[in-house]
Amino acid sequence: MRLYPRLANITKMLDFYSQFNPSPLSIKQFIDFGLNACEGKSFIFLRKELPVRLANIMKEITLLPDSLLRMPSVGMVSAWYAKSFEEVIAFEKVEPTTNNLEHFCKELIKIRDRHSDVVQTMAQGILELKESRGHIEPSTELSIQYFLDRLYMSRISIRMLINQHTILFGEIPRGDRHVGCIDPLCDPSMVVRDAYENARFLCDQYYLASPELQVIEHNELEKNEPIRIVYVPSHLYHMLFELFKNSMRAVMEYHSMENPEDVPPLKVTIVKGKEDICVKLSDRGGGIPRSQVDQLFKYMYSTAPQPPKSKSDLPTVPLAGYGYGLPISRLYARYFHGDIVLLSCEGYGSDAVIYLKALSDEANELLPIFNKTSSKFYKATVPTGDWSNQVRHLKKNIKKIVI
């Protein structure tokens, strides 16, 4: 098959850039550069780094099962990445003149906006596959889970780079203490209350009531001092908003037979230690069986009704959606080497703990790398259990995965 010259050149460039590993940055590096920001240096770094990150994940898209690649929504996502890659490499040999820097910044904003619906569109593509085939093979489910973690983590990292550049050099500069989208004195309790109030608004609309909030802070290093962290407030908000929605829904439904004005409160404990910042959300929503905890982080598992196909249709439960909330929230935590852990006491309630790095120079980006190891995973079959009773457990879990 003969390729057109332009398409052949793009394919050649994609092969070239995919050979390189992404260069992870720490929050401290983001801060240090932002405080002494030089648009030309940022331009030179991004015109190499963005194609590398795009090429790495684009190579993995091509390894997805053919049945999934044929879905219209997946094709749309693939086309978005190809278009963005082409637009970025157009600056490969461009001089950092004033006009070129301004054009580059506008292109980055266009790319960011183009990819704003990647999560929903890819989710729709998987629903299309499910509907077209009636079921998804277990090996395909494992490949999809592996791929989506890497796709969405790559997307988070690319948006982070673009946001830092466009906020520092393109959009209206912030007059506050923020360095790009990073707050060097982020108040986690304020982010907690903001996320709570917005989740509470949805809860009140649907259930006509909502749990109250109790917040406790413990600063182990600086006694009686308020806790401040160097972090991206929007990332923390995303995690907390999702956890609050889940907890509120659980509490209101578990206590539905009681007086809705007298439901147990949500308790948030914020702790700063030497290595970790911990934000723990505790609810009395009845908890879930231990066997289901791991399922909550799978993209093809949701306890809520499926979202409507038409945006004009109202969802049945406004506190739920595709079931992607928790997996993506965990990616936001892991992006800077934190984590989200769920602990459940079935019949009582659940604890969700957000772990963040206390030191900004240890909060490094966690990025997917395309190589032989990642390529082999897409060809892997369903694992065979090597412990007693494990084979039955694997099959049981696979059956639980519902789109």
Euclidean distance between CA atoms 149 and 327, whole angstroms:
8
357's tokens? 């790095």
How deeply is 381 buried, as exposed, middle or buried, from its count of CB atoms within 10 A (0-12, 13-18, 19+)?
A: exposed
At residue 175, the pLDDT reads: 62
Q: Residues with Cβ < 8 Å from 382, sequence gap 6 or more?
A: 138, 139, 142, 394, 398
**Position 133 confidence tier, pLDDT thresholds 50, 70, 90:** confident
At residue 7, the pLDDT reads: 61
Which of 57-66, 210-219, 320-329 has the lowest average pLDDT? 320-329
Find the mean pLDDT for residues 108-131: 94
At residue 161, the pLDDT reads: 98
pLDDT of 345 over the 90 cut: yes
- Scan for tokens 């580059």, then name that residue: 104
Set 245, 255, 267, 272: catalytic member: 245
Euclidean distance between CA atoms 205 and 194, whole angstroms:
17
pLDDT of 321 over the 90 cut: no
At residue 260, the pLDDT reads: 65
Set 238, 267, 272, 357: catalytic member: 238
224 part of the active site: no
CB 279 within 8 A of CB 167: no
Set 242, 255, 267, 298: catalytic member: 242
Set 59, 141, 165, 246: catalytic member: 246
Euclidean distance between CA atoms 214 and 230, whole angstroms:
24
At residue 397, the pLDDT reads: 53
**Position 142 confidence tier, pLDDT thresholds 50, 70, 90:** confident
346 part of the active site: no
At residue 123, the pLDDT reads: 93
242 part of the active site: yes
Find the mean pLDDT for residues 245-255: 95
CB 293 within 8 A of CB 344: yes
Span 2-13, pLDDT tens digits:
444 566 688 899
Find the mean pLDDT for residues 23-32: 97
What domains, with CATH codes, occur in the chain? 4-181 (1.20.140.20), 188-307+314-357 (3.30.565.10)
Euclidean distance between CA atoms 109 and 155, whole angstroms:
14
The helix (H) or strand (E) run that includes residue 201 is helix 188-207
Q: Chain-wide mean pLDDT for the chain?
A: 88
Indicate if the alpha-carbon torsion angle 251, 252, 258, 260 is positive or negative. Answer: positive
Decide: helix, strand or coil at residue 217.
Answer: strand
259 part of the active site: no
Rounded to a whole number, what is the distance in angstroms from the first to the last CA of the chain?
Answer: 37
Which of 215-219, 330-334, 397-401 has the lowest average pLDDT? 397-401
Q: Which residue did the predictor score with more confidence, 139 or 353? A: 353
284's tokens? 């009395």
Decide: helix, strand or coil at residue 23.
Answer: coil
Find the mean pLDDT for residues 292-319: 62
At residue 315, the pLDDT reads: 41
